[in-house]
Amino acid sequence: MTRRDSLRHFSTFLAGSPVLSAWQEPDRSLGIDDMLNVFDFDSACKRRITREAYDYISGGAEDEFTLRRNRSAFGKITFRPRMLVDVSKLDMSIELFGSKSDMPVFIAPTGTHGRANPSGEPSTAKGAGEAGTIMGISSSSSYPLNEIVKSATRPVWFQLYAGPDGPGTRDRVQRAVDLGCKAILFTIDAPYFPHRERDLRNRLVRPEVQREVNARRRRPDEESATYGLPARFTSTLTWKFFGEVAGYAKVPVLAKGVLTAADARLAVENGAAGIVVSNHGGRYLDGDPATIEMLPEIVAAVGSRVPVLMDGGIRRGTDVLKALALGAKAVFVGRPPLWGLGAFGQPGVTRVMKLLQTELALAMGLAGVPNLAAIKPDLVAVDPR
């Protein structure tokens, strides 16, 4: 055997060995049907969009402590499943604030979907409709609100960033309601711009596609990621302003960004029809607790008076089931549908939401809870450490 023959022989042997295949590059041609879970969409999205856009979607504030904690906190919760319950029919449908959804997993309002895919929010709205769920539309959307609402076949809720002009807030709320938005998600956790260091390093600027027509007017210093403390109208807001908005809105107004029982009570006292326990997906105050950690105290404080919803770190159907067991009526996902949109456009949004629905159904079936009403706190145990 010549040297060349023995080399060829050796490489043929290696090609068939499991060691070598473990080292092979991932297949970049993976299609949508190869996506088995939300994390697959994250990887696919990372390969298919620009680094600036991917970092904007996936990053968090400063050390990204809260971003990680939103995920790791789910690892402290385990199930106490029940056996020999008839789970041959699984019902996940829900109606909240007059809006119906096939699943208790909604799309969180997130800004500038045009960064993920030029087809932007109208695609997300169609994707949400195909999946049979509710979509929150951000004030900072890439497309005008009326175009997004026109594409929706399921209820949509409008996310409000108030300011900088107090009276303009009222007009925007009114317009959203006139266009058919069924609830207002009033975001209360963003009085200053955070330092998202990935965006600062990437010198992120607003892309051409972004028109931000639904947002308040922006000053030039708000155009790109900024280091420092630029004054914001939102930093002057108090619960009094929240109460005024809740008073004139004509649709339910939810306080989005509550992290303590004390604020949950204040929100309800000031007219909130619901609470969204949220730390903005770890994008504002780094050092915030995980939302799933704060959910029980907030449910205990106001859960008998108004629906409590939550978001942050939900990536699996089992995460949804844990949140529902701890008292959430429904949850939102922020990054997952954006990864779906970035990787595959509208079908990606639909598939991400349907994957979560399927995983939730599977988890409910295996845990012995055939419908949402059967999900009780004793379905989970929380590790106190």
Ligand X SMILES: Cc1cc2nc3c(=O)[nH]c(=O)nc-3n(C[C@H](O)[C@H](O)[C@H](O)COP(=O)(O)O)c2cc1C
Q: How far from 245 is each of 47, 175, 184, 235, 238, CA to CA, in Å? A: 42, 13, 10, 16, 11
* Residues 320-359 as x/- pattern, contact with ligand X by CB under 6 A: -------------xxx--x---------------------
Report the residue number, 64 or 147, with the smaller CB distance to ligand X: 64
Nearest one of 118, 117, 115, 92 to 105, comparing CA atoms: 92
Would you count residue 187 as binding ligand X (CB under 6 A)? yes
Among 281, 296, 345, 348, binds ligand X (CB under 6 A): 281
Would you count residue 309 as binding ligand X (CB under 6 A)? no
Would you count residue 120 as binding ligand X (CB under 6 A)? no
Would you count residue 114 as binding ligand X (CB under 6 A)? no
Which pairing describes strands 94-96 and 99-101: parallel, antiparallel, or unpaired? antiparallel
Binding residues for ligand X, total number by CB under 6 A: 25
Would you count residue 234 as binding ligand X (CB under 6 A)? no
Residue written as tokens 């994008």?
283
Report the residue number, 318 or 369, with the smaller CB distance to ligand X: 318
Q: Which two tokens stand for residue 288?
A: 């915030």
Would you count residue 214 as binding ligand X (CB under 6 A)? no
Shortest spacing between CB 209 and ligand X, in angstroms: 15
Among 132, 155, 313, 327, binds ligand X (CB under 6 A): 313
Report the residue number, 55 or 87, with the smaller CB distance to ligand X: 55
Shortest spacing between CB 249 and ligand X, in angstroms: 16
Would you count residue 256 as binding ligand X (CB under 6 A)? yes
Report the residue number, 232 or 256, with the smaller CB distance to ligand X: 256
280 is catalytic: yes
Residue written as tokens 């059967």?
374
Among 159, 210, 234, 350, binds ligand X (CB under 6 A): 159
Report the residue number, 132 or 312, with the smaller CB distance to ligand X: 312
Q: Single out the catalytic residue among 9, 113, 195, 280.
A: 280
H or E segment to which residue 331 belongs:
strand 330-333
**Residues 127/348, Cβ–Cβ less than 8 Å:** yes
Shortest spacing between CB 60 and ligand X, in angstroms: 8
Q: Would you say how long the chain is, in residues?
A: 385
CA distance 87 to 74: 25
CA distance 308 to 273: 9
Among 35, 53, 55, 70, binds ligand X (CB under 6 A): 70
Candidates 4-12, 97-105, 235-243, 278-286 — which segment interacts with ligand X by CB under 6 A? Answer: 278-286
Nearest residue to ligand X, scored by beta-carbon proximity: 334
> Burial code of 255-290, b = ≥16 C-beta within 10 A, e = fewer?
bbbbbebebbbbbbebbbbbbbbbbbbbbbbbebeb
Shortest spacing between CB 184 and ligand X, in angstroms: 11
Helix axes 38-48, 51-58, angle to 10 degrees: 150
Report the residue number, 108 or 299, with the smaller CB distance to ligand X: 108
Would you count residue 57 as binding ligand X (CB under 6 A)? yes
Shortest spacing between CB 116 and ligand X, in angstroms: 8
What is the four-CA torsion angle of 380, 381, 382, 385, rounded to 10 degrees? -160
**Residues 107/136, Cβ–Cβ less than 8 Å:** yes
Report the residue number, 270 or 278, with the smaller CB distance to ligand X: 278
Q: Return the amino acid letter for 40.
A: D
Among 163, 252, 296, 312, binds ligand X (CB under 6 A): 312
Candidates 18-26, 45-53, 135-143, 293-301 — which segment interacts with ligand X by CB under 6 A? Answer: 135-143
Omega within 30 of 0 (cis) for the link into 164: yes
CA distance 253 to 158: 10
State residue 307 phi and psi, 5-degree precision: -65, 135
Would you count residue 111 as binding ligand X (CB under 6 A)? yes
**Residues 222/90, Cβ–Cβ less than 8 Å:** no
Contacts with ligand X, residue ranges (CB under 6 A): 56-57, 70, 108-111, 138-140, 159, 187, 256, 278, 280-281, 283, 311-314, 333-335, 338
Active site residue ranges: 280
